[in-house]
A and B are shown apart, each in its own frame.
Chain A
Amino acid sequence: MGTFIQQIINGLSLGSVYALIAVGYSLVYSILLFSNFAHGGFLVIGGYICYYTLNLMGANIWLAGFAALIGAGFCAVLTERLAYKPIRERTSVTLYLLIASMGMSIVIENLFVIIAGGRFRALPPVIPTAPVDLFGLATTSAFDLLSLAAAVVFLGGLQLFLTRTKWGLAIRAAAYDLRVAGLMGVNVGRLISIVFFVAGLLAAVGGIFLSVRYTLYPQLGAITIKAFVAAVIGGLGSLPGAVVGSLILGLAEMLTAGFLSSQLRDLVVFSLLVITLIVRPSGLFGKDIKEKV
């Protein structure tokens, strides 16, 4: 029983990190309708900014985290301006954006191979990892609880931004129809920049927690494939779907690792993807728009 509760908490913690990544990815998808494969790059950028501000500048985790979030946000906006905007302005074929994003993902990864080297780096012990006793029922680590808490805070913040602000409303409208949002007087270029900034920022939060969990290296962004799977299971373009899909995936991984074998983790993940695509291709919260024609 103890192991079960423990694995549930571990699963929710891992799933919450996936959710931070999947939500940003899904947000970009909902506006521009393409899978941004450079999304993993944003979390690597966040991880390295955090690493270097901690190590070189001796900053505390709050300052380093802040720098990582803002830095990754700006890099995401820059990626959009450099690689996607010129394509967006010339064509409405989203396949080109997808290909450009694959290119950008390689560019970002190799930039870090050149700048930082390919080796694995451990973040200084800035996030407590001490074991925590949960009312005698199970033991978990402070790190798992913290990453869960951070995800709740940031996803809650995103929810407030989307439902309580003018630009949040515009983003929800644009997710339905970008052109008509433009006709309402929304500066579409600025809206897309805001979306990429938010996506980059959330990815950086995930990146910091992943660097602590798995160490930091230029290919860490490849883990985005899990967030991608989570987003598809939840329904591409749906934010609640991305969160639920991520939690399901985190739980599935940790329960497999706890009770079967940790080598079967990825097998279970991709089986879930295949089952979703067969049974319900639009995902759990897929867009089946209730609209009268």
Chain B
Amino acid sequence: MTDSQTPLLSVRNLCVSYGAIKAVQNVSIDVFAGEIVSVIGANGAGKSTLMSAVMGDVRRESGDVFLDGKVLAKKSFQVVTQGLSLAPEGRKVFAPLTVFENLMMGAFPRNDRSGIDDDLKRVFTLFPRLEERREQYAGTLSGGEQQMLAIGRALMSRPRVLLLDEPSLGLAPIIIKEIFRELKLINEQGTTILLVEQNARQALLLSHRAYVLQTGHLIKEGLSADLLRDPDIEAAYLGGGHRKL
């Protein structure tokens, strides 16, 4: 990725507070078209707050967010219309709605019938299990299936940037692998991805570039491949690096 082009998504000096607690301080992140960028950090580092603030779900105290050089709206529903969508932490599928209805909720801002049908086919191709369970209530799905649904639902708005908040949370390693494989495919099909993860190894293996967030501050950024070999990162986030990848 060359730095000469304008980033597709650009977060500039973002600050977010909850009362007296400063959750995100002066964070700047760039995501270029076609990239997968990950933000890694421990629990409580401010990763989810960062995502919520970008989506307009939490009030941005100061700083700006730009999409394609234009200032991003402040309210969630406008942000979605402008081209971002989020698969939130903990999946947050609509349990009493069917899989199909959940996906239709993802397409809520759209009115292009045939386009929605195309994206529905795309999601079902990526996650065939969702098609099998099309009429099943989302609350009855397994954790992995719910995560697939959350990702599929976010794709249904045909976002320019797909935001993923902890897609590996609470899932078995084999399911995580499966989901990350599909994320790579989604990216190769042309969707730019911004991912926040506690599972640093998986995130760094998937992404092109990464940022490290610690207690609300960015402490490091670089190519994911370099960060994977960085001794500090290895000690702090990759469990010493003795495990074979």
Contacts and interface: CB of A to CB of B under 8 A. Distances in A.
Contact of A290 (B80, B95, B106): B95
Contacts of B55: 183
Interface stretch (B30-38, B139-147, B236-244): B139-147
Contact of A176 (B88, B94, B141): B94
A185 B157 contact: yes
A231 interface: no
A137 B106 CA distance: 54
Nearest to B55: A183
A180 B146 CA distance: 14
A186 B76 CA distance: 8
A interface majority secondary structure: helix
* Most chain B CB within a 10 A radius of its CB, from A170, A173, A181, A185: A185
Contact of B57 (A170, A182, A186, A187): A182
B60 interface: no
A290 B140 contact: yes
A172 B97 contact: yes
Contact of A170 (B81, B88, B96, B105): B105
A56 to B, nearest CB: 42
Contacts of B109: 185
Contact of A289 (B75, B92, B96): B96
Interface size class of B (residues with CB under 8 A): 20 to 34
A292 B96 contact: no
A267 to B, nearest CB: 36
Contact of A181 (B95, B105, B137): B105
B108 to A, nearest CB: 5
Contacts of A182: 57, 75-77
A63 interface: no
Contact of A177 (B86, B94, B108, B142): B94
B29 interface: no
Contacts of B106: 184
B94 A183 contact: no
B104 interface: yes
A225 interface: no
A172 B108 contact: no
Nearest to A287: B96
Contacts of A177: 92, 94
* Most chain A CB within a 10 A radius of its CB, from B57, B77, B95, B137: B77
B153 interface: yes
B80 A183 contact: yes
Contacts of A185: 76-77, 80-81, 85, 108-109, 157
13 contacts: A170-B105, A173-B94, A176-B94, A176-B95, A176-B96, A180-B94, A182-B77, A183-B57, A186-B77, A290-B139, A291-B95, A292-B140, A292-B143
Given A172-B96, A173-B94, A185-B76, 7 more contacts: A176-B94, A180-B94, A183-B85, A184-B153, A188-B76, A290-B137, A292-B142
